[in-house]
């Protein structure tokens, strides 16, 4: 009887071992930094959002964590039954040799509170974003944002007055960079070249000038003035295209995006054609013709000129209202702001500013306000669209040209070329130009800082992450990270 009982007990333990403990499992959770690292358990990728159930048998397991720019981390772990097993992994970033210099003088560099040395300097920095602080006696400390993904070199400018932004670098361009335009996805910057054979293409993620695109069929003529990206929502592919104007031939050239391969060209119907604007609802392209005192309205599908609008002398800036009802035109020699009805193409309103040379115009997101730069009177005007009258004037530095609004319409950034050379405006200016940063809601200038010689091109990226400007006489591009600045000003917090 006792023997049978022992056999029964042993049998029950055997059943428990086979069927009971085989159903047992381990609870495992892994805390990992950076949080976007990929984690493997016994060579299989796992998610770490919540505790993981690890099946029996096998109490020892192999953990591996991987992430681009970081050293792979491997660890053998032993798990305990009936409790939560927690492990923490911290990946160490790879280090890269980075050379940092500034274009004039000498500044001290700091990474946080760590003194790195004086410029020029070569230093090992970790993969990822590094915020470097420049310090020099008599100068405001300034921040530089280094996206380190390999060994590279950076060139910065230490502004005596500082900037509210984080510098990304200064980069060489072709001859006389006239304008700068961000692609809709913020991946590229294009730079039309006035004294060169085409345009530059700059890659934002790698901060690399990819190429200078030589435009065909121009007979080596120069004069590439303005560019425009168009995303056509009314075609099935919703393709994005890039257009660039050439003054000397009165031609528009179209390129595929993102390959930047040439597709076609078509005439503008005007003389010395410059600025372009796009109206998405009617799918029409407008371009101002500097010497023929007209604006061409062009069918984007076939490149045909549908209408030539007569303007006051020397039309320059253009913008459509967001609802597509109106086209606004600035005239340089005419010193006037014109409003055309896009149904009839008749001129409905005219604002004349005595002694002015109106250059560029942008419109607020709500279509209520226009902002217009005046190179003649060194001013930027806020114009109420409904009354078509000036409601506020901002006095800025000499020759304000290109202007742009932040995506929410709260910040206006103005590129001021600086005073003309006494011999000719075609020569280098006697001093650097100025960039003005204006809060249009508070109607006050927040900051102004120096740029290079004759800053002309200026653009805020569509998502509000970047600011790009070109220095016409220095053949250079300056790039800034402004995302944090715009977020902070929207919250009403300090600039730095």
Strand ranges across the sheet with 358-363: 358-363, 369-374, 379-384, 389-395
Domains, the chain, ordered by start: 25-90 (2.60.40.1120), 95-156 (no CATH), 173-480 (2.130.10.10)
pLDDT at 441: 96
Instruction: Give the position of tokens 């190179």.
Output: 375
Answer whether 374's CB lies under 8 Å from 360's CB: no
pLDDT at 245: 98
Answer whether 173's CB lies under 8 Å from 194's CB: no
Residues 6 or more apart whose Cβ sits within 8 Å of residue 490: 408, 410
What is the pTM (predicted TM-score) of this model?
Answer: 0.90
Per-residue model confidence as pLDDT tens for the chain (496 residues):
444 544 433 343 333 333 333 445 678 888 899 999 999 988 889 876 667 777 655 568 899 999 999 999 999 988 887 778 888 899 999 999 999 999 999 999 999 999 999 999 999 999 999 999 999 999 999 999 999 999 999 999 999 999 999 999 999 999 999 999 999 999 999 999 999 999 999 999 999 999 899 997 766 789 999 999 999 877 766 799 999 999 999 999 999 999 999 999 999 999 999 999 999 999 999 999 999 999 999 999 999 999 999 999 999 999 999 999 999 999 999 999 999 999 999 999 999 999 999 999 999 999 999 999 999 999 999 999 999 999 999 999 999 999 999 999 999 999 999 999 999 988 999 999 999 999 999 999 999 999 999 999 999 999 999 999 999 999 999 999 999 999 999 887 655 5
Query: How many Å apart are CA 402 and CA 125, to the nearest integer?
Result: 36
Query: How many Å apart are CA 28 and CA 81, to the nearest integer?
Result: 10
- For residues 416, 405, 276, 175, the Cα torsion angle rounded to the nearest 10 degrees is 40
Checking DSSP bridges between strand 336-341 and strand 411-416, what pairing results, if any? unpaired
Answer whether 85's CB lies under 8 Å from 28's CB: yes
Structure tokens at 265: 């060209």
pLDDT at 471: 98
């Amino acid at each position: 009887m006792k023997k049978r009982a022992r056999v029964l007990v042993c049998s029950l333990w055997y059943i428990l071992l086979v069927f009971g403990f085989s159903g047992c499992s381990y609870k495992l959770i892994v805390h990992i930094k950076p949080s976007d690292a990929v984690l493997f358990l016994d060579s299989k990728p796992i998610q770490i959002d919540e505790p993981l159930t690890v099946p029996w048998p096998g109490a020892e397991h192999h953990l591996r964590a991987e992430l681009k720019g970081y050293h792979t981390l491997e660890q053998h772990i032993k798990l305990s039954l009936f409790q939560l097993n927690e492990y923490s992994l911290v990946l160490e970033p790879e280090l890269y040799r980075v050379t940092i210099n500034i274009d004039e003088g000498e500044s001290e560099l700091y990474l946080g509170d760590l003194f790195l040395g004086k410029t020029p300097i070569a230093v090992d920095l970790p993969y990822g974003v590094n915020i470097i602080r420049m310090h020099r006696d008599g100068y405001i400390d300034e921040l530089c944002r280094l996206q380190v993904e390999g060994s590279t070199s950076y060139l910065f400018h230490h502004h005596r007055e500082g900037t509210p932004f984080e510098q990304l670098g200064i980069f060489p361009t072709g001859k006389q960079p006239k304008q700068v335009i961000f692609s809709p996805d913020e991946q590229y910057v294009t730079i039309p070249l006035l004294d060169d054979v085409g345009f530059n293409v700059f890659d934002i993620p790698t901060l690399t000038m990819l190429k200078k695109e030589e435009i065909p069929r121009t007979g080596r003529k120069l004069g590439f003035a303005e560019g425009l990206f168009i995303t056509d929502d009314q075609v099935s592919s919703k393709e994005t295209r890039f257009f660039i104007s050439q003054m000397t031939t009165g031609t528009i050239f179209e390129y595929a995006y993102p390959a930047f391969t040439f597709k076609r060209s078509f005439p503008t119907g005007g003389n010395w054609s410059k600025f372009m604007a796009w109206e998405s609802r009617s799918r029409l392209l407008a371009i101002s013709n500097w010497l023929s005192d007209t604006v061409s309205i062009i069918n984007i599908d076939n490149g045909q000129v549908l209408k030539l609008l007569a303007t006051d002398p020397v039309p320059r800036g253009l913008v459509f209202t967001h609802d597509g009802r109106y086209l606004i035109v600035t005239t340089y020699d005419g010193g006037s702001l014109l409003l055309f009805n896009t149904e009839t193409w008749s001129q409905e309103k005219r604002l004349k500013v005595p002694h002015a040379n109106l250059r560029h115009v942008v419109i607020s997101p709500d279509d209520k306000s226009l902002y217009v730069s005046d190179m003649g009177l060194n001013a930027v005007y806020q114009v109420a669209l409904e009354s078509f009258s000036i409601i506020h004037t901002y006095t800025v530095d000499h020759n304000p040209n290109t202007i742009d609004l932040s995506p929410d319409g709260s910040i206006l950034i103005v590129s001021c070329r600086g005073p003309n050379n006494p011999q000719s405006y075609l020569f280098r200016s006697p001093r650097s130009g100025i960039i003005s940063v204006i809060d249009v809601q508070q109607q006050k200038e927040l900051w102004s800082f120096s740029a290079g010689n004759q800053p002309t091109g200026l653009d805020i990226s569509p998502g509000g992450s970047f600011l790009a400007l070109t220095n016409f006489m220095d053949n250079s591009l300056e790039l800034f990270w402004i995302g944090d600045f715009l977020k902070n000003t929207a919250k009403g917090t300090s600039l730095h």
